[in-house]
Homo-oligomer: A and B are copies of this chain.
Amino acid sequence: MEFAYLGPRGTFTEAALRRLPAAKGATTVPMASIVEVLEAVRRGEVDAGFVPIENSQEGTVTLTVDELVGGDPLVIAGEVVLPVTFVLASAKPAAEIATVASHPHAIAQTRGFLRRELPNAVVHQALSTAQAAQRVVDGEFDAAVCAPFTAEAVGLPVQAFDIGDNSGAETRFVHVVRPAAPPEPSGNDITSLVVYIDHDRVGALLAVLTELAIRGINLTRIESRPTGEGLGRYAFFLDCTGHLADARMGEALTGLRRICADVRYLGSYPRDHSDRPVPPPEGLSDGDFADAAAWLERLRSGGAA
């Protein structure tokens, strides 16, 4: 079993991959870009890919989403949600630090700390937090803002822990495979979709959300994306609660299929950090659907209601 992931070694992505149950015992292969990871999966060169998709400090979300939405189909088979914590990694104490490097997003999220503690240091941008740490090791800069994991990986001491301005930040990563039946329902699953609608009308989006809401399906994420196909066609990336195998999800998907210009299914997979199953809303279990279908059959064959 081989997993490609967004490298280099020592970034948040590698730390997250270590927590993915499906990657236990797998060979992991760092690649230089999200595109390369996903293409390697598409071509069958690896069994699976692992890339950041949401709220990343590395600015890569858009790229992952756009890759999943376009090109040959891929599906998500799992997710890992990792709290984002930053450290100041340096061989020198804060008072001696004249230059600091990091990815622009990491710099933005530690701005308060940098102003307060290193008001005179010059801040440099790097391609990733891992690259920044490596350039500190190489002697190019005095300090890097990076993950604790990254500092440890390159052997840099930590001068200050948890220096982010927003301590609740998280990054979400996804385990991507070629189209396949989803893992069994865990009782607390996400189904990811892209739906396309042909007009910029809130009414069309309301219709999409209504198809979900009446089946008790919630959204944990929504994002409109321009499609590049000219004005008037919009794509919406949706993360929905529930699993492809659920009766209510099945009916909702067929409803979306009928009303949308197009629907792309991107996988059903267990939510990370969810040890307790979430029961379906009242009246929306698979048993409720089976009961209602049996009642309809009775009516159609002339039985009493």
Contact = CB atoms under 8 A, between A and B. Distances in A.
Interface of A: 32-35, 54-55, 59-63, 66-67, 73, 104-105, 107-108, 111, 125-127, 166-170, 179-181, 200-203, 205-207, 209-214, 217-224, 226-230, 236, 244-245, 250-251, 253-255, 257-259, 263-266, 283-284, 288-289, 291-293, 295-296, 299-305
A179 B111 contact: no
This protein's copies in its complex: 4
Contacts of A245: 300
Nearest to A260: B283
A251 B251 contact: yes
Contact of A202 (B202, B219, B284, B300): B219
A214 to B, nearest CB: 6
Nearest to A254: B292
Contacts of A258: 283-284, 288-289, 292
A26 to B, nearest CB: 21
Contacts of A283: 258-259
Contacts of A259: 214, 283
B289 A33 contact: no
A284 B287 CA distance: 25
A211 B209 contact: no
Contact of A299 (B227, B265, B289, B303): B265
B228 A166 contact: yes
A209 B141 CA distance: 49
A213 B179 CA distance: 34
A127 B202 CA distance: 37
A304 B219 contact: no
Given A61-B62, A166-B228, A293-B254, A213 B209 contact: no
Contacts of A226: 54-55, 169-170
A298 B303 CA distance: 33
Nearest to A55: B226
19 contacts: A32-B125, A33-B125, A34-B108, A35-B108, A59-B60, A104-B127, A200-B218, A202-B217, A202-B218, A210-B214, A214-B214, A221-B224, A222-B223, A223-B223, A244-B299, A245-B300, A251-B251, A258-B284, A264-B305
